[in-house]
């Protein structure tokens, strides 16, 4: 394992607020005068109110690519990062009125799928953050993984964090590095 040149710091875990939406509008973007681009989602709440909220580039791309604004058979949970003041994740669930007669949400295959790996992101600014984790993983385990990566962010696939958690895969995109770590102790 190699040492990285820049100091890596652990970012605080974001505080999410769940915004429920019955439908989404087409996402929008706006180029600012200083060259920065802002992204925005329009949505209709379950109460029928029309709202707008800022979102990440990734959310914008996903909504646009998958054309989620045309899908009326699902409801959306927008995870709003209160620190960054934007939507950073979207969850989808089937609307009960579109399920076959006699079926409930729990009957849908994959409705309660849990993750198998911890996903940790290293930003271009050298900030580590837990993106997603299985519900069975404790905050202490997450902390061990983050501290291990803080000491050496130059790990490779197959290496072990804290001597016990195996790095299964590493993906890089737009300057971000995502580590997929098996939480089972080896």
- By the 8 A CB rule, do 90 and 79 touch? yes
Cα 74 from chain centroid (whole Å)? 19
- Give per-residue pLDDT as tens, 98-148: 777 777 766 665 555 556 888 898 888 888 988 888 878 888 888 899 999
Answer whether 0.75 is exceeded by the pTM: no
CATH topology of domain 16-107: OB fold (Dihydrolipoamide Acetyltransferase, E2P) (2.40.50)
Share of residues in the chain with pLDDT > 70 (%): 89
Share of residues in the chain with pLDDT > 90 (%): 35
- Give per-residue pLDDT as tens, 16-46: 889 999 999 999 998 888 888 999 999 999 8
Q: What are the structural domain ranges in the chain?
A: 16-107, 114-181
pLDDT computed for residue 112 by the predictor: 52
Cβ count near 39 (within 10 Å): 21
- By the 8 A CB rule, do 51 and 42 touch? yes
pLDDT computed for residue 91 by the predictor: 84
């Amino acid at each position: 394992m190699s040492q990285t040149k820049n100091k890596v710091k652990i970012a605080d875990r974001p505080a999410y607020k769940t915004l429920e939406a019955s439908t989404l509008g087409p996402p929008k973007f706006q180029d600012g005068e200083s060259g920065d681009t802002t992204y925005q989602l329009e949505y209709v709440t379950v109460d029928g109110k029309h709202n707008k909220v800022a979102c990440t580039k990734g959310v914008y791309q996903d909504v646009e690519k998958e054309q989620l604004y045309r899908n009326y058979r699902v409801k959306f949970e927008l995870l709003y990062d209160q620190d960054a003041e934007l939507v950073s994740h979207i969850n989808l669930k089937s609307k009960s009125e579109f399920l076959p007669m006699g079926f409930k949400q729990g009957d849908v295959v994959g409705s309660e799928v849990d993750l198998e790996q911890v996903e940790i992101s290293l930003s271009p600014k050298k900030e580590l953050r837990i993106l997603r984790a299985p519900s069975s993983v404790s905050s202490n385990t997450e902390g061990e993984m983050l501290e291990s990566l803080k000491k050496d962010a130059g790990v490779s696939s197959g290496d072990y964090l804290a001597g016990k958690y195996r790095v299964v895969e590493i993906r890089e995109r737009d300057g971000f590095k995502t580590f997929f770590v098996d939480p089972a102790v080896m």
